[in-house]
Structure 1
Amino acid sequence: MTSAPEFPESDPGTQAHRYHRIFEATVVAFWEIDLADMQAMLAERCRESGLEPADYVRANPGFIRQSIDTCRVLDLNTRAQVLFGVDRETALATPFGHWCPPQAETMLFDNLMAYLTGEAGYEGEALMMRADGSLFPVHVSTAFPQEPVSPPAGTFAVMDISDRIEREEALARLNTELIRAARVATLGELAASIAHEVNQPLTALVANGNAAMRWLRRPTPDLEEAIEAISRIVEDGTRASEVLARTRRMATKGDGMRAPHDFATIVEEALTITRWQLASLGAEIDVTIAANVDKVHADKVQIQQVLINLLVNAAQAMATIPAPRRIGLSARPSGTFVTIHVDDEGPGIPETAGQQVFNAFYTTRPDGMGMGLSITRTIVEAHGGTIRVDTSPQGGASFQFTLPRAD
């Protein structure tokens, strides 16, 4: 029987040389940090406070900045020098905290807490600072020693993720443009409804203008009646202006910012834009908003887009059934969220479809593009909510989605 070959053991110097070559050759930036002063500072604070290390750090988050500024750099590889734009001598003479701006403190805090609570390692993302003062996004990975080492040291593996962040931001911009394009397309479909909503106050405005002129042309002008007619003109002009303003908000790009908004107002404005088209399809709306539903944290225009998509879809789904055709729109609180239901009395969702209706390009309409519900889901999930479809009590489709309540 042939015995396994024996290999001579490497002496510590050979092993150190081998690992140093790997340390230098890798594309990852490595920093080796002296943790002795941090450990001494933490031990002293714990003696003074009587707290365990993890409890002390939790109670005193400012400790991380004080301590990281005491950490000396023991070593760094060539990749770290290139990435941070610093030469070796300068890096070794500069505390590690210099490269960690305030935006990195959460990562450093979580890193230290992972070590103090016995985790094997830590991974996280943060912004770090180059020698020229510019900030850049990084992924940080730390492996903690399982046995005490002397001197105590930590190794930070740092990877530049700028390219990934740029790709994610570009994708987010494209997604925003897609949502806006769909919103503009929806407005095109609602053009007749919008024109009707504008035409009503304009017609009333002309009628009240003529009435005011008649009151003023009398042998004895009736100023009181004329003033009342002119007041109605102002009200009608304001109504028309509000419809146009809401339409313009739907069409413009917007800033995408989410803020507390009264949910009832969001619903009211969405119904104003869609009322005529829904009526032309023979649909009637029953709105029930629970009294304790107040504000949601949302992009107002995007949530109106969600409601318009669901309401118009519901009305179109019922177009072939006998009247009355009712759509139920309800909202109720559910913990930290508001749950919204849009129910119709149409034929419902095919059993084979299920949640596939939210997939891009899925449609059951011959003239449909299959993007409306996909974009609706994208908007809801971007708000931290969920959306699904079931069968309504009337046998039609029941769409339910959630939005976070505003504090």
Structure 2
Amino acid sequence: MSQGLGQGGSGQEGFRRGSLGQVFSRWPSLASANDGSPAADALPAWMLSAHRRRWPDLVEDGAKAVLAVLVPVLLVGWGLAAGPPASVAMAGLLVAGVLAAFLGTLHVARLRRALRASEAQFSAIFERAGISMWREDWSAVGEAIAALRLAGVTDIEGYFAARPSELRELCGRVLIKDVNAFTLEETGAPDKAAFVGPLDRLLPETDQTFVQWLVALGRGDRFFRSEAHIVRAAGQQSDVLFTAMLPRERAEFCDLLITSLDITAYKQAQARLAAAEGDLARAARSITVGAVSASIAHEVNTPLAAIAANAQASLRWLKRPEPDLAEVTAALEDVVSEARRARDVVARTRSLFGTASLALAPVDLVEVAREATLLAERDLRANGATVLITADPDLPPVTGDLVQIEQVLVNLLVNAAQAMAGSSGRRDVAITVRGDPGAVRVTVSDTGPGVPPEQRARIFEPFHSTKPGGMGMGLAICRSCIDAHGGDLWLDDAPGGGAAFHVRLPTACRSPA
């Protein structure tokens, strides 16, 4: 199941490759996440538990009852063979054995009744609960994750980011065994057959969060909660919040109890609110741009008019039969003065809309990349794009403005998703975070058609857009932001085709230019 996938805010500690930090969840839990292991790479407790077959007490007590009967019978047989005196003693033992067997049978009956009552109580809770509940078998996943951890793999997410086919295959080995009646009522499914079976039937290709369950299991978390979108029987997608207590022993993987809450209507309301806020913001920007444009035009037109007038006067003085060089010199000096005035107007405008007041602080680019995927999730899903994140372990923070860097990555992610909108193949967006000397580099690459060579020289210019109806300001603003941080933003070809945008930012020990 699932972009947690990610968390909604920055209050939760981000996951760091190789360090087995907190799982990145959109709905962070207040429950303790780990098993208290002192070492970050220590194996979780459930991997150290032996493969025990947990026999019910009923079977154990039944075996005791059988032995209580067999032992006296064997002793009586031996006594009869030994002679009459021993037979009397053995007869007493036989009576005691029969009595013990009778009492054992009564105990077994009580256990059976208690077991049936317990099963009935669980069934009542499961079927009559006012929330959707699922029973799932994650045994294959538990064995696979244990094998990886025992082989020394600590970066579970990075491992599967490089092997998406293995991730999908493992998702198909999770078996949904049962769902309760409320699940059918809530989803409108005709029967449980719509859900029972492999999990990958319900998770679309754009799911971002199944791997986070694997990360939580690999670290031994006690509790996990995440938001996913699943495909219903009719084909429509629903947003669901899943919660589960994770196994503490290997035997518990065969019967995982998971609850789900349909938050589709809530998400749609959020989307409508965001759209309304976006429309309002665009209207406010249009009004602001119009006012600023009128102000700039007024400020610049005045010195330009003066420049034109003085230039024309200079030409007239020069065209006289006897040029008046003193007047020409004075007019040209006025031209220079008015040109400087126009330059100052432009400089003031740039400082007004520039990035002179950056809120500088240490920034974890892995965490920023995760947050950016959450902010861009709606556009990613709308274009059928899947995000894969890989990062080097123990990367140092960079110095920068968190909000501006986040917005740059959001813009690059949305551009990548839109570039693949018409693609018939896989629509993968890869985010890689790597360490460079004195810097950290984030690369956002896609599997789209790429950028034609004739457009690359102008792609970062203002008002140049490759998208119909685009304003052509996104990449120009992105480069301006990165330049203000003393970093670099450039474009390359992606290894498998498509475009790859690189953002390189200095580490915290350096200051932006």
Task: With the length of structure 1 as denominator, give the TM-score of the two structures.
Answer: 0.46
Q: Which has the higher contact order (CA 8 A, sep 6+)?
A: 2
